[in-house]
A = this chain, B = another copy of it.
């Protein structure tokens, strides 16, 4: 599709801006006496790629909200991406994940102590970059970090918890993913000098797209292939209760429910077909797809309230494409 291609190319161009900004930033920091050592380690994860959804959306939201000077927003974009990377590095330790972005996780190549310190260093930079903005921005960024910590702790508290509710699940993904997406959009709007109604719009948009994003991630753990950069079924091995599993446990009764419980409590790759069969029976995969659609629809409704602009078109396109994301 011609339009799609064009839009894709333009999103790629924005992703290039992000990559260039990250690379220049890292280069500059590598020249500083005390930063060369921690950045030398941290940059491996920063530059390993990733979708750059957060920074690309941040730049688009800034432009869609009337922002004119990319230099005034770039620090907040870098801040968000570096804070995100810090949490990825620490998460991988906590999840004992072997891979990240298709490469060995940082704690695998450098050991846990260096990975913890590299993450802490990125936290420090993230906040240094964020501190240059208004108190409102600082409070939003801090709050999203608090929410992220709370979300991760909630998730740990529910590992292998077969009685976990959808509300518990949403509290976790709102903290872990939707909160940071929402903050990213709101910060971009504030920095662009947008009125409060646009800031609120970007906040709501971020919540909905972030939820869709995490739901897709969790669904791909069940249905995805190796192009994701981590093996299928990682969440189940780690005992993470994602929405399709919670839904399946709610819908199924009798023997099938007992079977699903048994699969989840003593999971092995040999039981993969069994699990997928049960989730088909309960309609849990379709249910998750439906919810993803609902969240994307709502995200799109928020974007449609924005004044017309190229950035708005690209945001619509990105929201649409997240519906069918396969990696």
CB of B41 within 8 A of CB of A153, answer yes
B87 touches A153 (CB 8 A): no
* Most chain B CB neighbours (cut-off 10 Å) among A35, A113, A154: A113
Residues of A122-164 contacting chain B, CB below 8 A? 123-125, 127-128, 130-132, 135, 138-139, 142-143, 145-147, 149-150, 152-154, 156
Task: Indicate whether A121 reaches chain B with its CB closer than 8 angstroms.
Answer: yes
**Contact residue among B35, B37, B146 (Cβ-Cβ distance under 8 Å from A124):** B146
Report yes or no: B94 in contact with A120, Cβ–Cβ below 8 A: no
| List of B residues within 8 angstroms of A139 by Cβ | 128
Task: Give the total of A residues in contact with B, Cβ under 8 Å.
Answer: 45
A142 touches B127 (CB 8 A): yes
Q: How far is the CB of A175 from chain B (nearest CB, A)?
A: 7
In Å, the complex CA distance between A41 and B146 comes to 13
18 contacts between A and B (CB under 8 A): A32-B146, A33-B150, A34-B149, A34-B150, A37-B150, A38-B146, A94-B113, A113-B152, A114-B156, A117-B152, A118-B149, A119-B120, A120-B120, A120-B123, A120-B149, A121-B146, A128-B139, A131-B138
Q: Let me know if A138 and B128 touch, CB within 8 A.
A: yes
**Is A99 interfacial (CB 8 A cutoff)?**
no
Interface of chain A residues 191 through 206 with chain B (CB within 8 A):
none
Chain B residues with CB below 8 A from A132, complex form: 135, 138
**A93 beta carbon closer than 8 Å to chain B:** yes
Closest CB in chain B relative to A215 CB, distance in Å? 21
CB distance from A287 to the nearest CB of B (A): 28
Query: Which of B120, B131, B142, B156 sits near A90, CB closer than 8 Å?
Result: B120
CB–CB A37/B154 < 8 A: yes
Q: How far is the CB of A252 from chain B (nearest CB, A)?
A: 30
**Which of A35, A37, A131, A135 has the largest count of B CB atoms less than 10 A from its CB?**
A131
In the complex, A102 Cα to B133 Cα: how many Å? 40
Indicate whether A316 reaches chain B with its CB closer than 8 angstroms: no
Interface centre among A32, A93, A143, A149 (most CB of B within 10 A): A149
Q: Which residue of B lies closest to A118 (CB)?
A: B149
Q: Are the CB atoms of A150 and B38 closer together than 8 Å?
A: yes
Is A112 interfacial (CB 8 A cutoff)? yes
Chain B residues, CB < 8 A from A145: 120-121, 124
Are B123's CB and A124's CB within 8 A? yes
| Cross-interface CB contact of A125 among B117, B142, B147, cutoff 8 Å | B142
Other A-B pairs beyond A90-B116, A123-B123, A123-B124, 10, CB < 8 Å: A33-B150, A34-B143, A36-B150, A93-B113, A94-B117, A112-B112, A124-B146, A127-B131, A132-B135, A132-B138
Contacts of A152 in B (CB 8 A): 113, 117
Cα–Cα distance between A153 and B117 once the two chains are bound (Å) = 7
Separation of A139 and B35 alpha carbons in the complex (Å): 13
Which of chain B's residues have a CB closer than 8 A to the CB of A154? 37
Q: Which residue of B lies closest to A29 (CB)?
A: B146
Residues of B within 8 A of A121 (CB): 145-146, 149
Give A89-110 as 1s and 0s: 1 = Cβ < 8 Å from B's Cβ atoms. 0100110000000000000000
